[in-house]
Amino acid sequence: MRADRLVAALLVLQARGSVTAAELATELEVSVATARRDLEALSTAGIPVYSQPGRGGGWQLLGQARTNLSGLNESEARALFLLLGPSATKAPETRSALRKLLRALPETFRAEAAAAADSIVVDAQGWGQTPSPRPEWVELLQTAIIRRRVVRIRYAGRTSGQGERSVAPWGLVDKDGLWYLIAGTDRGRRTFRVDRIQEATLTAEEAARPDDFDLQQAWDEVVDTMEERRSLVSADVLVADRLAPVVLDQFGRNGAAVGRDGDRTRLRVAAHTARSVAEQLAGFGAAVQVLEPEAVRAELASIGAELVRAHGLVADSPSL
């Protein structure tokens, strides 16, 4: 992202006073030509950046010019890094710009700003579930992560009733609209769905967090475990080309196009049971043809029979 590079280039100049295009290229991990174009763009934009030709020359930020970054207050700095942090997990340019931006902040704000940038991971690949509205506890949990505070939550598990527990929030994940909290507990690291939190209270107790904790790595481990559970049974299906993206979106990472059969696309989809595969395909009706395994075909037939019994219809009923 060029905007990220321009901010980073300006902050390097602010820190050093002068720099050559080659030095800036090394700092920003770009080509010398790109660094030179960025410096020229800053000068053209009216920022007092000038080149000094000859031996010992380079580019200088004249007149002790400074950006207004040091004018951010604490809440503004935290909000900025909350905004930029998730995108930085995917974009090397943004990570580089964040490092430079962090150095330009007043020292008293740096710790919280850095914690804010590392507090959220965005995972755009869904699990075929309907996203829920943003849970009301996200902001409180972000605050707990940044300030290293224990949170007391009342949580409704998937298979158990509600229970209260104290957790040390380590990071949040936005997975295609479904929010997850990764936290330390008295039983080790645990992952909670934020929309199942019934109540949350920020406490004054300091929360411990391992020095080597990496939120992205921790989430990758969670996803790997979940995908193993979700992909125990696979099925090969044929669908019309126009429906292939819709079916693949339904299965998320557990779906892939594997070939063609005439004018249709062949997909391989998976879930934790044959019944679960059938349930996710049933809504497509006859537009999806299951080739194998027989267990999924049988479950689809069973679902169809259940629907007929439940609604009191027969195959030759007249249309309404």
- What per-residue confidence (pLDDT) applies to 317? 47
Residues 222 and 235 in one domain: no
Out of 228, 258, 277, a domain closes at 228
Residues 74 and 34 in one domain: no
- What per-residue confidence (pLDDT) applies to 109? 53
Q: How far apart are CA 250 and CA 80, in angstroms?
A: 34
- What per-residue confidence (pLDDT) applies to 82? 54
Residue 63, Ramachandran bin (φ over 0: left; ψ between -120 and 50: alpha; else beta): left
pLDDT digits (tens, 9 = 90+) for 238-266: 999 999 999 988 887 788 999 988 889 99
- 10-residue mean pLDDT series, the chain (320 residues): 65 76 85 85 70 73 53 52 50 56 57 63 68 81 88 83 88 86 93 93 92 88 78 88 89 86 90 88 91 93 88 54
131: in domain: no
Residues 114 and 80 in one domain: yes
Helix locations, the chain, DSSP H:
2-16, 21-28, 32-44, 74-88, 92-104, 107-117, 138-147, 215-230, 244-251, 274-282, 294-311
Out of 192, 209, 228, a domain closes at 228
Residues 222 and 144 in one domain: yes
- What per-residue confidence (pLDDT) applies to 294? 94
Instruction: Count structural domains, the chain.
Output: 4
Q: How far apart are CA 110 and CA 142, in angstroms?
A: 16
126: in domain: no
83: in domain: yes
Residues 25 and 92 in one domain: no
- What per-residue confidence (pLDDT) applies to 65? 47
320: in domain: no
Residues 48 and 73 in one domain: no
Residues 157 and 220 in one domain: yes
CATH assignment at residue 197: 2.30.30
- What per-residue confidence (pLDDT) applies to 252? 78
105: in domain: yes
Which residue is it, tokens 């804010």? 116
Out of 179, 196, 228, a domain closes at 228
Domain residue limits at 73: 69-118
130: in domain: no
Percent of the chain with pLDDT over 70: 69
- What per-residue confidence (pLDDT) applies to 146? 82
CATH assignment at residue 238: 3.30.70
